[in-house]
Chain A
Amino acid sequence: MTTRTVEAPTLRDAVGQSVPTRGAREVVTGALRYLTDLRFPNMLHGKVVRSSVAHGRIRAIDVDAALAVAGVVAVLTAPDVPLNVSGLIFPDQPVLAGDRVRQVGEAIALVAAETVEAAQLAAQKVSVDIEPLPVVCDPEAALHEGAPLLHPTGNLLAVFEHEKGNVEAALAAADLVIERTVETPAQEHVCLEPGGGVAVFENGLFTIWCGSQLPGNHVKEVARALQVDPGVVRLISTPMGGAFGSKGDGPLPIHLALLARATGRPVRIVLSREEVMIAGAKRHPFRIFTRLGLDRDGTIRALDTDALVDTGPYASLGPAVLKVAAEMSTGAYRIDCARFRGRVVYSNNGNGGAFRGYGVPQVAFALESALDVAAVKLSLDPVELRMRNVLHPGDEHGLYGHTIGPGLKAAEALHAVSSHRWWANRHTWKAGSSAVWRRGTGVALAMKGVGPGSGRGDAARARLALGADGSIRIWAGPNHSGQFIETAYAQIAADVLGRRYDDIEVIVGDTDLVPESGACAASRSTYAGGSAVRLACEELLGRIRELDMSEQIDWPEAGRRLASAGKALVESTYVLPDVAHLGRLEGSEAVAGLSPHLVYGGAAQVARVVVNKYSGEIRVEAVVCSVDCGTAINPAGVIGQTEGGVLQGLGFATMEEYRLNSGVPATTSLETYLVPTSADTPELETILVEGNEPTGPFGAKGIAEVVLVPTAPAVVAAIRDAVGVDVVRLPATSERVFRLMREARS
């Protein structure tokens, strides 16, 4: 007997609903198995032996004592890696250091043992004889003549320059030129799950369970290092306990695969917090020199940005981060003449990598805080100053001159926070300052591209199967890296198909099942992955239409008929569109090299801060963030991303700084590296500035990064408003603010 399911005609209401994330029940009950929770029969425990020296030549590695530890099954070193390289852009990083170490924490050997304790003991017994070399711990010093060279090509990894118009002439003609240098710190992701995974090698096939935001790339990296065909490597990359960019690269999946093949048994590695703090990627520290020229009425005439970026010992994503920083150095503003010059240098400091915002929080702090200084000097309201220059759709981009797409609502985002009571009432609020606790309010605006930009051929894919029982199963990417993105995919699919949300099954995060969909990064998952899901659903509807059924789709019958025609499985590819109008970039051969964006999102914030006039103690009392999100597929999800972004921005603004002394990490635990707690969290409000991004699914665009960007400049502006000091070095800790106040008094 067949059951006919007749759907109600008006079901298309999943998009825009704050449905709970998929997996929420498993999360709150503790039932969800993260990849570091997995255990296999006969499993071994792996441990990475790491360098304690920031820079040195490896004279000898002796593993005999380690191999003699009871329960040790394998100890691997550099010669055990068939092709000993890794790295996303330039493969300049050894999987295991063989002759040279360039960072404290760099992997030198791998141990596998029957117990965690045996693995730890054996790791301690691997004896590494390192001849120390001079340490390069300052990016400026790295470029000095005679500086120790970290790579044969020198310490200068990448240079990027672009100029639109004649910047020097425009600066010379401006009424006011603000010149300042700012510095931003290395920031650590502090995913609550420190990271790790399991690998199994069986019948020539590798299966690796390890968190990844670029599973396709990680498969290629594993295959390259082990010199196997990528087809024999399967990576299951979710669920993971946070990512924020940290799971984009890193050699962990390669380490797991090496140990699994060497031992023929499942091997698990769970990193300690200290290991992640020392060896994990960090937000690139920037030193930025800015010259901002304006007219008396606040019109920006020219912007010159010079950035020095410390990428640490290996390239990782340094050049890519620089490129995004360049594009966003002009912020959300119309600027006639702009120049960006950036240099990425190697050092023996922490390794720079991807971190939510990807170079933009750094350049935005430089520009927004310069604008703030300008507003004071010109006696202009900081909102009015920004509004006078803000980009609208159809304007030309500040640095590249291509045309801004129709979906941007940066002006509306700024308007939204400036209409909020925390901005409107700022003067009366400030008047309530006590003799000790001074109050201040600051505002900032940010913009960031969605996806990796034009000329890249970036694509996301989806596969959809209609079952003979009418079921819908979708395999899609990018995968879940902390946001349960499958929720949004299911909402989109439900509304395209006119099915119930609960009837849509979505599978993410398995390279054997999900077609290659690119990175879970660059604010692209909902936008690109959601678009691929939409296309797959539309293709299925098209095929059903050809069946000539009645308007009311009989899903099981459609499933049976399509299956018999071999058409029940749909695959889709969504290629992210390039800039529609090149504007001043027309004729430039370098579009792919610049990667200008078609789609941008905006966010603005107002922060209320109180500062202790005598101690410099800072309390951020309230932050309101407006977010230009297009259509909010899942409003609670967008608000959650926004609030989380604001708090990471708050950490960047006031407390987070990964510090080293001559290349030796000083902040190696959560006791010394502070992140915001519930005691630090301000009153948070989010304003969704909805619109329509024509190229996004149901008008949606990505927002997860831009929401972090305005926090630091808004907080620093509020500190200025409260106590009149100009913070140029982040984080704005109490000590720094105290020192600035003392200098101002003397």
Chain B
Amino acid sequence: MRVNGRPVLPRIPTQRLLDFVRDELDLTGSKEGCGMGECGACTVLVGDEAVCSCLVLVGQVADKEITTVEGLLSGADLHPVQQSFIDAHASQCGYCTPGMVVSVAALLVTDLAPDDASIRRALVGNLCRCTGYRSIFDAARSAGA
């Protein structure tokens, strides 16, 4: 398994991917909001696909490339989605934001100019309780531009 480009060797195949990245790799950007795939705060990329890391065991993704929100950075440079979230004021408490950012990054892999319906589909598994989503839609729209 590679996490954010770095080879890693999980010891417990039945460990949740979320616990592995948070507790073993100290990548605490991925958050736990429900532990049952309802809120999306723990979203990571498995390959290019956005996945709830609370629903995946490390053994299931042992040969995969995992990217967490921390892995979207290039050195000190923000990923365009991260920059667009700042510019669009698309976070408040920020707890859902890493998962949102990862979901939007996954959307942009296949669609650099997503319409509202695609954004809605991509984000429907990511709950936000602070913003009302409008600013997050703005961020998603501008990130690919």
Residues in chain A within 8 A of chain B (CB atoms): 18, 20-21, 23-25, 27-34, 37, 39, 189-194, 239-244, 270, 272-273, 481-484, 636-637, 639-641, 643-648, 669-671, 675, 677-679, 681, 684
* B9 on the A face (CB < 8 A): no
CB pair B120 A192 closer than 8 Å: no
B115 nearest CB across to chain A (Å)? 13
- Tell me which residues across on chain B come within 8 A of A648, comparing CB atoms: 129
User: Is the pair B95, A242 in contact by a Cβ cutoff of 8 Å?
Assistant: yes
Q: Give 26 pairs: A residue, B residue, CB < 8 Å, sorted on A.
A: A20-B87, A21-B89, A21-B92, A25-B78, A27-B85, A28-B82, A29-B72, A191-B129, A192-B128, A239-B93, A241-B95, A242-B95, A272-B35, A640-B92, A643-B134, A643-B135, A644-B130, A645-B132, A646-B132, A669-B34, A670-B34, A670-B36, A675-B127, A677-B123, A678-B120, A678-B137
- Per DSSP, chain B at the interface is loop
Across the interface, do A482 and B130 meet the contact criterion of CB distance under 8 Å? yes
In the A-B complex, the 5 residue pairs with the smallest Cβ-Cβ separation, listed nearest first, are A30-B29, A241-B95, A643-B132, A27-B94, A482-B93
For residue B85, give the distance in angstroms from its CB to the closest CB of chain A. 5
Are A32 and B94 in touch, CB under 8 angstroms? yes
**Residues of chain B from 103 to 145 with CB closer than 8 A to chain A in the complex:** 119-120, 123-124, 126-137
Residues 33-50 of chain B: 1 if any A CB is under 8 Å from the residue's CB, otherwise 0?
Answer: 111101101000000000
- With beta carbons under 8 angstroms apart, the residue of A18, A29, A684 that contacts B82 is A29
**Chain B residues, Cβ within 8 Å of A39:** 26
Q: State the CA gap A644–B91 with chains docked (Å).
A: 11
Residues of B within 8 A of A670 (CB): 34, 36, 38-39, 127
Interface string of B12-29 (1 = CB under 8 A from A): 000000000010001111
For the A-B complex with A29-B82, A273-B35 known, give 13 more contacts whose Cβ atoms are closer than 8 Å: A20-B89, A21-B89, A28-B83, A30-B27, A30-B30, A34-B28, A244-B129, A640-B89, A640-B135, A643-B133, A670-B39, A677-B123, A681-B133
B residues 63-102 near A (Cβ < 8 Å) are 68-70, 72-73, 78, 82-83, 85-87, 89, 91-98, 101
Which A residues are in CB contact (< 8 Å) with B127? 190, 192, 670, 675, 677
Contacts of A681 in B (CB 8 A): 132-134
Residues of B within 8 A of A669 (CB): 34, 36, 38
Known: A24-B86, A30-B28, A678-B119. A644 touches B92 (CB 8 A): yes
If A646-B132, A678-B119, A678-B123 touch, whether A34 touches B89 (CB-CB below 8 Å) is no
Count class of interface residues, chain B: 35 or more
Nearest residue (CB) in B for A677 is B124
- On whether A483 and B92 interact (CB within 8 A), knowing A191-B129, A193-B33, the answer reads yes
A192 CB contacts on chain B under 8 angstroms: 31, 33, 39, 41, 93, 95-96, 127-129
- Given A28-B82, A29-B69, A192-B127, A242:B93 Cβ within 8 A: yes
B124 engages A644 (CB within 8 Å): no
| Chain A hits for B135, CB < 8 A | 640, 643
Nearest chain A CB to B125 CB, angstrom units: 8
Pairwise interchain contact A190-B87, C-beta atoms closer than 8 A: no
Judge whether A31 and B70 touch: CB under 8 Å: yes
Q: How far is the CA of A280 from the CA of B85 in the complex (A)?
A: 31
Q: A20-B86, A28-B101 are in contact. Are A273 and B34 (CB under 8 A)?
A: yes
Docked CA distance A192–B97 (Å):
10
Residues of chain A lying within 8 A (CB to CB) of residue B39: 192, 273, 670
Given A28-B85, A194-B33, A678-B126, A21–B91 Cβ distance below 8 Å?
yes
Least CB distance, A698 to chain B, in whole angstroms: 20
Most buried by B among A29, A34, A270, A669: A29
When distances are taken between beta carbons in the complex, the residues of chain A under 8 Å from B36 are 273, 669-671
Q: Which of A25, A27, A33 has the most CB of B within 10 A?
A: A27
* Residues of chain B lying within 8 A (CB to CB) of residue A675: 127, 129
* Smallest CB gap from B123: residue in A: A678
Q: Return chain A residues, CB-CB under 8 Å to B120.
A: 678-679
Contact between A678 and B133 (Cβ–Cβ < 8 Å)?
A: yes
Indicate which residue in B22, B26, B29 contacts A29 across the interface (CB closer than 8 Å). B29
Chain A residues with CB under 8 Å of B26's CB are 39
- Contact between B129 and A29 (Cβ–Cβ < 8 Å)? no
Partner of B124 from the list A34, A637, A679 (CB cut-off 8 Å) is A679
Chain B residues with CB under 8 A of A20: 86-87, 89
How far apart are A728's CB and chain B's nearest CB, in angstroms? Answer: 27
Closest to A648 in B: B129
Contacts of B91 in A (CB 8 A): 21, 24, 27-28
Question: Within 8 Å CB of B27, what residues of A?
Answer: 30
Given A30-B27, A192-B31, A644 contacting B129 (CB threshold 8 A): yes
Task: Report chain B residues within 8 Å CB of A239.
Answer: 93-94
